[in-house]
Amino acid sequence: MNSDAFVCVVRFKSTLERFLRRVAALLCIAFAITLPAAAQDAALTQRILQMVDRPIFRHSTVGVEVYDQTAGKTLVTINPQQLFTAGSTTKLVTEGSALALLGEDFRFHTRVFYTGNITEDGTLEGNLILVAGGDPNLSGRVMPDDTLDFTARDHAYAGLLPGNSVAGEPLRVMKELASGVLMRGIWRVRGNIIVDTSLFVTDQIEPATHTAISPVMLNDNVIDVIATSARNEGGPVAIQIAPELPYLKVINHVRTGKPNSDAEMRFTSDVLEADGSHTVVIEGNVPAGRETAQAAYKVKDPARYAEEGFHQALRWAGVVVQSPFVDPGGATAPRAAENRTFLVEHVSPPFKEEVKLTLKVSQNLHAATTPFLVGSLVGHNSTDAQLHGLALEHHFLAENGLDPESVSQLDGEGGVGSAFSPDFMVRYLEMISHRPYGRWFYECLPVLGRDGTLAEILQDSPAVGHVHAKTGSYVVSNTLNGSVMLLGKGLAGYVDGANGHRLIFAAFVNMVPLHNMDEVSDVGDVLAKIAAAAYESTVPPQTANKPPAAKAPTRTPGKVSAKPAAHKTTQRTARKPAKKILKPAQN
């Protein structure tokens, strides 16, 4: 090659390099507009990658995004755009959207009407009609200070998993309404007790708890069976039913087990009797030593159940119902509003309290009902309420700059088919934080090491009290191997950094084959450690080794510092054929 040719090549390469640099600069500008910022914290990213580099995840997919909201930059991105089975982290989207659409101060109204006439001696010659307004808390949850009580292990999951009722009377709201009927001068009813459930029409069952979705929800559509063991193994077990109604008759086959064994109770038979009641057989064992355990019977006909509950409350209040309160011709069917006269009503605590309850304990039935409530109360549709509710949620997300068509949601609670990406969840949480109710939404989330489904997670971590986040799981049987498959595990929420910065994060892992349910909590610990690592990345070096702050006292009753049901199950061998499980109870 002669010198002229060499100069030509050098000039050409120089010109090409300048051109490529200009193209690269333009591309950088374009990508800066359309793509999230590249990860800025290499040390945190590397630490997270080391956490998930373990044999249990060798066949799995992990996605993480950590965003420093205060600084306005993304710190970690691992598969940020990939969709993950989200489990109950879906409730973040359900409940946050419902706060916007219904309003944080929205209140449900459960009204009682009557037909016919009231005679001078206080006899109603007609029917009493309780019109369901969608209130999920016609129960003992309602507190005198207009809040809702809850336990860390919700009673809806009790049986094969731990669960506890709140301290309040299950018929509390029904008794309040019955007292109102008496105060309005009605001492006797010659007619039927009817519950009108026409707010929305559905025959759906929430798949995780197998609880009926309905506009009327007495005691979460559950009857609690509480068992107390004998002092010694093999002795008889006493049971208590709450509320005790003609709807349910229980044949008790539960026995006292070994001391310190796991309690386990299940309903093995359910017979529908001619009068509409149910006769069930309950089996299992409760550890010796006068220990208590609980199982939740899921009612099949919420309207019939509520009718019996209201009738019982009227009897308690001293109101005599002389006619049969169940009409074989269909007393529970929705009735038209003509010739009804308003009598009394119960007004619920503000909706924000319902959101707090649902997110703290991951109450599946409440979350599953939320789209129905939005569709019927905001969308004014009774026949396709769930579809209309999710359509309104879609519109809310889109008008706030999110892309709902990039994700999937089939229901309110996060059943199979609900999938979100880490980036979508982070952007959603960032958007919610700017809404008028953003601070309340933050307070509604479980707190690491303190309450809700995070109550007993990483209690010795410096991050205790600094992570507000929602857990999520979806587990099914792996029948081939007599084990379980974790289809999805997630954790998403906020981290309050020691440097004063607010971080937003989302962490998911999908398709993790496990030996048993106990290992699900191990995977949850890994995701919690990711959140803790994000917190620790904000700690100044001089304070990094200080012990965590002392725990704040827990609220009593309500926020019981106890491990959520999904993190403790009955003992079973690693390869024992597993029962089919759809989303562990409180996750």
Q: Residue 18 has what pLDDT?
A: 44
| pLDDT beyond 60 at 204 | yes
Q: What is the mean pLDDT of residues 537-565?
A: 49
Pairing of strands 211-212, 205-206: antiparallel
Note whether 477 and 485 are within 8 A (CB). yes
In the block, residue with structure tokens 């996605």: 63
Q: Residue 543 has what pLDDT?
A: 52
Residue numbers of the domain that contains 224: 107-349
Q: What is the mean pLDDT of residues 469-491?
A: 93
Residues 339 and 485 in one domain: no
Exposed/middle/buried for 179, CB within 10 Å: 0-12, 13-18, 19+? Answer: middle
What is the amino acid identity at position 270? D
Which among 303, 296, 298 has a CA at the least distance from the CA of 151? 296
Compute the distance between CA of residue 527 and CA of residue 124 in angstroms, rounded to an integer. Answer: 60
Distances (CA, A) of 331 to 128, 170, 250, 299, 339: 11, 23, 25, 18, 16
Compute the distance between CA of residue 155 and CA of residue 562 in angstroms, rounded to an integer. Answer: 13
Which among 98, 419, 365, 373 has a CA at the least distance from the CA of 205? 365
Q: Residue 40 has what pLDDT?
A: 73
Q: What is the mean pLDDT of residues 140-162?
A: 91
Between vectors from CA 268 to CA 262 and to CA 274, what angle results, nearest 5°?
145
Question: Which residue would you say has higher pLDDT here, 556 or 289?
Answer: 289
Q: What is the mean pLDDT of the chain?
A: 85
Q: What is the mean pLDDT of residues 67-96?
A: 96
| pLDDT beyond 80 at 230 | yes
Q: What is the mean pLDDT of residues 379-404?
A: 97
Output the six-digit token pair for 86.
């989200």
Q: Residue 540 has what pLDDT?
A: 75
pLDDT tens, position by position, 15-52 = 434 433 443 333 333 333 233 445 578 999 999 999 99
Q: Count each helix (H run) and each strand (E run) in the chain, helices first.
A: 11, 23
Note whether 478 and 578 are within 8 A (CB). yes
Note whether 460 and 529 are within 8 A (CB). no
Note whether 44 and 537 are within 8 A (CB). yes
Does residue 563 belong to any structural domain of this protein? yes
Q: Residue 140 has what pLDDT?
A: 96
Note whether 140 and 124 are within 8 A (CB). no
| pLDDT beyond 60 at 157 | yes
Q: How far apart are the first and last CA of the chain?
A: 72
- What is the total count of domains within the chain? 2
Does residue 472 belong to any structural domain of this protein? yes
| Residue 434, φ and ψ in degrees, nearest 5 | -95, -5
Which among 223, 153, 225, 217 has a CA at the least distance from the CA of 585? 153
Does residue 496 belong to any structural domain of this protein? yes
pLDDT tens, position by position, 85-115 = 999 999 999 999 999 999 999 999 999 999 9
Confidence bin at 568 (pLDDT 50/70/90): very low
Q: Residue 578 has what pLDDT?
A: 40
Does residue 212 belong to any structural domain of this protein? yes
pLDDT tens, position by position, 107-118 = 999 999 999 999
Q: Residue 111 has what pLDDT?
A: 98
357 membership: H or E segment, kind and range: helix 351-361
Q: Residue 37 has what pLDDT?
A: 46
Question: Own/partner pairs for 567-571, CB < 8 Å, 24+ apart?
Answer: 567/456, 567/457, 567/520, 567/521, 567/524, 568/161, 568/162, 568/518, 568/521, 569/160, 569/161, 569/262, 569/516, 569/517, 569/518, 570/160, 570/262, 570/263, 570/264, 571/261, 571/262
Q: Residue 209 has what pLDDT?
A: 87
Sign of CA dihedral 499, 546, 65, 30: positive
Compute the distance between CA of residue 371 and CA of residue 503 in angstroms, rounded to an integer. Answer: 29
Q: Residue 548 has what pLDDT?
A: 52
- The domain that holds 312 is classified in CATH as 3.50.80.20
- The domain that holds 501 is classified in CATH as 3.40.710.10
Q: Residue 5 has what pLDDT?
A: 32
Confidence bin at 208 (pLDDT 50/70/90): confident
Residues 70 and 208 in one domain: no
Residues 309 and 439 in one domain: no
Residues 314 and 444 in one domain: no
Does residue 33 belong to any structural domain of this protein? no
Note whether 194 and 586 are within 8 A (CB). no
Confidence bin at 338 (pLDDT 50/70/90): low
Does residue 335 belong to any structural domain of this protein? yes
Compute the distance between CA of residue 217 and CA of residue 214 in angstroms, rounded to an integer. Answer: 6
Rg (CA), the chain: 28
Note whether 80 and 63 are within 8 A (CB). yes
Q: Residue 364 has what pLDDT?
A: 95
Question: Which residue would you say has higher pLDDT here, 314 or 540?
Answer: 314
Residues 157 and 127 in one domain: yes
Q: What is the mean pLDDT of residues 389-400?
A: 97
Question: Which residue would you say has higher pLDDT here, 324 or 155?
Answer: 155
Candidate from 67-71, 256-260, 550-554 with smallest mean pLDDT: 550-554
Residues 529 and 396 in one domain: yes
| pLDDT beyond 80 at 123 | yes
The answer to whether the bond into 243 is cis (omega within 30° of 0) is: yes
Of the spans 22-36, 114-128, 335-349, which averages the highest pLDDT?
Answer: 114-128
Q: Looking at 331, 349, 367, which one is the last position of a domain?
A: 349
Residues 91 and 129 in one domain: no
Q: Residue 551 has what pLDDT?
A: 46
What is the amino acid identity at position 96? G
Confidence bin at 169 (pLDDT 50/70/90): very high
Between vectors from CA 263 to CA 261 and to CA 264, what angle results, nearest 5°?
130
Which among 245, 247, 254, 258 has a CA at the least distance from the CA of 226? 254
Residues 86 and 227 in one domain: no
Q: What is the mean pLDDT of residues 523-546?
A: 84
Does residue 78 belong to any structural domain of this protein? yes
pTM of the model: 0.84
Q: Residue 328 has what pLDDT?
A: 45
Q: Residue 459 has what pLDDT?
A: 93
Residues 363 and 505 in one domain: yes
DSSP secondary structure letters along 114-158: E-SEE-TTSEEES-EEEE----S-BSTTB-TTS-B---SSBGGGB
Compute the distance between CA of residue 409 and CA of residue 495 in angstroms, rounded to an integer. Answer: 26
In the block, residue with structure tokens 């074989």: 328
Q: Residue 247 has what pLDDT?
A: 95
Candidate from 346-350, 416-420, 473-477, 559-563 with smallest mean pLDDT: 559-563
Does residue 141 belong to any structural domain of this protein? yes
Residues 408 and 488 in one domain: yes
* Largest Cα span, the chain: 122
Confidence bin at 516 (pLDDT 50/70/90): confident
Q: Residue 368 has what pLDDT?
A: 97
Note whether 492 and 469 are within 8 A (CB). yes
The count of C-alpha atoms lying within 13 angstroms of the C-alpha of 340, restricted to the half-sphere facing its C-beta, is 17
Q: Residue 587 has what pLDDT?
A: 62
Compute the distance between CA of residue 433 and CA of residue 435 in angstroms, rounded to an integer. Answer: 6
Question: Which residue would you say has higher pLDDT here, 461 or 566?
Answer: 461
Residues 305 and 175 in one domain: yes
Compute the distance between CA of residue 85 and CA of residue 421 in angstroms, rounded to an integer. Answer: 9
Question: Which residue would you say has higher pLDDT here, 186 or 518?
Answer: 186
Compute the distance between CA of residue 209 and CA of residue 157 in angstroms, rounded to an integer. Answer: 6
| pLDDT beyond 70 at 561 | no
Which among 164, 227, 170 has a CA at the least distance from the CA of 561? 164
The answer to whether the bond into 557 is cis (omega within 30° of 0) is: yes
Residues 410 and 361 in one domain: yes
pLDDT tens, position by position, 280-318 = 999 999 999 999 999 999 999 999 999 999 999 999 999
* Angle between helix 351-361 and helix 90-102 axes, rounded to 10 deg: 180
Exposed/middle/buried for 56, CB within 10 Å: 0-12, 13-18, 19+? Answer: middle
201 secondary structure, DSSP code: -
